[in-house]
């Protein structure tokens, strides 16, 4: 229950990029000015900018016209017109297929899937069409202008079909990119990068943070580079890797671990596919220990890929087995959510047992 309460007290300020870090998003760092915005407002701003700067960009999906179920698309239809911001019928496969076609003609199709849990009917289109379009046509055609946005992750009471984290399925598909922001400022910059990236991208937004997370977000147009992980907290004893909403939980665990004398280095992966192996490798070579945490079930989750790669690259430098603190191998439960989730205490415990191995 404490874990649940911890989740509710999430109106924290987000860890800003530390200066000695290996990779720092300089563009976002330069102007710390801006208004305090929550996640959905930051995404809304990014969409406004994207549509403003490219007349051939379109936003569509279920119920986006009135602003969307999470208010991410507020004001777009009024400002850019119903020809560029429009509702689709309830058919994810059709929506994504349509987006691929639109992108193949050189447009930027920004597709919204209402909840990541509903993305599976579109899975065939993403895997078999979007990911392979450029490859199979020998670069004659591509659907790089496609960006699929979907709210993902636990929200406290979402149950089976409003809480899933499907990122692992997509990380297994060469040809697309998978990006997950951790905070409002990151989200705006990353989303603009995704939209302008010449590859199809799946962008998962942590729905828990839509209202809960508030941060200073610069008002101008800025992009955060893809495939660059960020060290958001420096440390020497253990490297923690995560993404999205889970980073807040991990940061709390890091603070608690510090009280016990363990210095933790926390890395936000940001882009899961293709992921920044160098940053994580350099960090693990320094600390000798790795812990990965994500909400998705542990078996076959993306943590497994990170673990295997780091093992290949840093085997002799590792002091302890790579630890994964993740969701349990069950369907996302209803009343049992607090037990299922990788909570701060589970992470803290794993940090301690890894350090004391």
The residue from 99, 112, 117, 265 that contacts other proteins (CB under 8 A) is: 117
Min separation Cβ 306 and other proteins, Å: 19
- For position 158 contacting other proteins by CB under 8 A, the verdict is yes
Burial class (CB in 10 A: 0-12, 13-18, 19+), 315: exposed
Nearest to 181 by CA among 245, 240, 249, 265: 245
Which 3-62 positions form the footprint of other proteins (CB under 8 A)? 62
Residues 59, 76: Cα–Cα separation, whole Å: 8
Min separation Cβ 4 and other proteins, Å: 11
The residue from 98, 118, 123, 141 that contacts other proteins (CB under 8 A) is: 118
The residue from 8, 66, 135, 357 that contacts other proteins (CB under 8 A) is: 66
The residue from 160, 198, 219, 236 that contacts other proteins (CB under 8 A) is: 160
CB nearer to other proteins: pick between 27 and 87:
87
Residue 92 annotated in active site: yes
Supply the DSSP string of 202-262, one letter for each residue. EEEEETTHHHH-EEEE-SS-----TT--EEEE--SSEEEEE-TTHHHHHHHHHHHHHHTT-
Min separation Cβ 190 and other proteins, Å: 27
- For position 346 contacting other proteins by CB under 8 A, the verdict is yes
Q: How far is CA 240 from CA 104, 143, 190, 260, in A?
A: 39, 34, 21, 16
Min separation Cβ 245 and other proteins, Å: 18
Which 302-341 positions form the footprint of other proteins (CB under 8 A)? 328-331, 333-336, 339-340
3-state secondary structure of 338: helix
Give the count of beta carbons closer than 10 Å to the beta carbon of residue 259.
7
Q: How far is CA 21 from CA 38, 125, 161, 258, in A?
A: 26, 38, 38, 19
Ramachandran class of 204: left when φ > 0, alpha when ψ lies in -120 to 50, beta otherwise:
beta
Ramachandran class of 132: left when φ > 0, alpha when ψ lies in -120 to 50, beta otherwise:
alpha
The residue from 108, 162, 233, 324 that contacts other proteins (CB under 8 A) is: 162
Which 270-309 positions form the footprint of other proteins (CB under 8 A)? 299
Site map 72..101 versus other proteins, x via CB under 8 A: ---------------xxxxx-xx-------
Min separation Cβ 273 and other proteins, Å: 25
- For position 149 contacting other proteins by CB under 8 A, the verdict is no
Min separation Cβ 335 and other proteins, Å: 4
Interhelix angle 39-53/184-196, nearest 10 degrees: 30
CB 214 within 8 A of CB 11: yes
Residue 162 annotated in active site: yes
Catalytic residue among 92, 251, 265, 337: 92
Catalytic residue among 162, 205, 215, 265: 162
3-state secondary structure of 278: helix
- Cα-to-chain-centroid distance, residue 332: 19
- Residues in contact with other proteins by CB under 8 A are 62-63, 65-66, 69, 87-91, 93-94, 117-118, 120-121, 156-162, 299, 328-331, 333-336, 339-340, 343, 345-346, 349-350, 353
Q: Give the active site residues.
A: 92, 162
């Amino acid at each position: 229950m404490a874990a649940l309460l911890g989740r509710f007290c999430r109106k924290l300020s987000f860890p800003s990029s530390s200066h000695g870090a290996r990779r720092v998003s300089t563009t976002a760092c330069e102007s710390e000015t801006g208004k305090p915005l929550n996640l959905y407002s930051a995404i809304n701003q990014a969409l406004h900018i994207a549509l403003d700067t490219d007349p051939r960009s379109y936003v569509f999906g279920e119920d986006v016209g009135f602003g969307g179920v999470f208010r991410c698309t507020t004001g777009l239809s009024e400002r850019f017109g119903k020809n560029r911001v429009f509702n689709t019928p309830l058919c994810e496969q059709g929506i994504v297929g349509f987006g691929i076609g639109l992108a193949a003609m050189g447009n930027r199709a920004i597709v919204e899937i209402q909840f990541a849990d509903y993305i599976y009917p579109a899975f065939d289109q993403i895997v078999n069409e979007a990911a392979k379009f450029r490859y199979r046509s020998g670069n004659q055609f591509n659907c790089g202008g496609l960006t699929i946005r979907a709210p993902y992750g636990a929200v406290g009471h979402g149950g089976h079909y409003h809480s899933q984290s499907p990122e692992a399925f997509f990380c297994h598909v060469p040809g697309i990119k998978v990006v997950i922001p951790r905070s409002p400022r990151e989200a705006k910059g990353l989303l603009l990068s995704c939209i302008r990236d010449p590859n199809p991208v799946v962008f998962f937004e942590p729905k828990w943070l839509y209202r809960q997370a508030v941060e200073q977000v610069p008002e101008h147009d800025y992009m955060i580079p893809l495939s660059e992980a960020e060290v958001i907290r420096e440390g020497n004893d253990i490297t923690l890797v995560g993404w999205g909403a889970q980073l807040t939980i991990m940061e709390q665990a890091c603070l608690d671990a510090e009280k016990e004398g363990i210095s933790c280095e926390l890395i936000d992966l940001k882009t899961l596919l293709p992921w920044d192996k160098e940053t994580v490798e350099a960090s693990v070579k320094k600390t000798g220990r790795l812990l990965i945490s994500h909400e998705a079930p542990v078996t076959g989750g993306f943590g497994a890929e990170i673990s295997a790669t780091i093992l290949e690259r840093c085997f002799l430098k590792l002091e302890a087995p790579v630890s994964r603190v993740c969701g349990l191998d069950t369907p996302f439960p209803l009343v049992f959510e607090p037990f299922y989730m990788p909570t701060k205490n589970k992470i803290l415990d794993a940090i301690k047992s890894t350090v004391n191995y």
